[in-house]
Amino acid sequence: MINQQFRIQKFNKAIPAAGSAINDLLALSTIQANISGAEYPSTLGSLWNLISESNSTFEGVSFNSLCDQGKELDSSAFDGLAFKEGKSLLFDPKQEAVAAE
């Protein structure tokens, strides 16, 4: 998750899956692989590797490398996005992005 301060944070599983239930990442990657015939990340490590390879903003970031406070990202990478959030205590979106709605 990336918050309004452009800090990427990780979240650990709160409780283990019940019985023989599988986690959502494995379920979604299995469905996508069955539809497309291609391989998709099915573990946190492989997913984070794909994310960091596909966007330089996340280069070198992995689930294991993030501390509990997360890591602040370069917010300029998100300048062109129109955020739904309005101004808050620690977030003041650029006027052009807000006006784009």
- Could you tell me if 72 and 2 are in contact, meaning their C-beta atoms sit under 8 angstroms apart? no
Beta-bridged to residue 8, according to DSSP, are 2, 71
Q: What type of residue sits at position 2?
A: I
Q: Give the amino acid at 21.
A: A
Q: What is the pLDDT at residue 58? A: 87
Q: Which pLDDT score, from 0 to 100, does residue 35 have?
A: 94
Query: What is the predicted pLDDT for the residue at 98?
Result: 45
pLDDT the model gives residue 36: 92
Q: What is the pLDDT of residue 30?
A: 92
Nearest-angstrom CA–CA distance, 47 and 53: 10
Interior CA angle at 34 toward 29 and 40, to 5°? 30
Report the pLDDT value the prediction gives residue 15, as an integer from 0 to 100. Answer: 85
The confidence score (pLDDT) of residue 29 equals 92
Look up the pTM and report it. Answer: 0.62
- Element spanning 40, H or E: none
Residue stretches of the chain with pLDDT short of 50: 97-100
Q: In whole angstroms, what is the distance from residue 39 CA to residue 66 CA?
A: 26
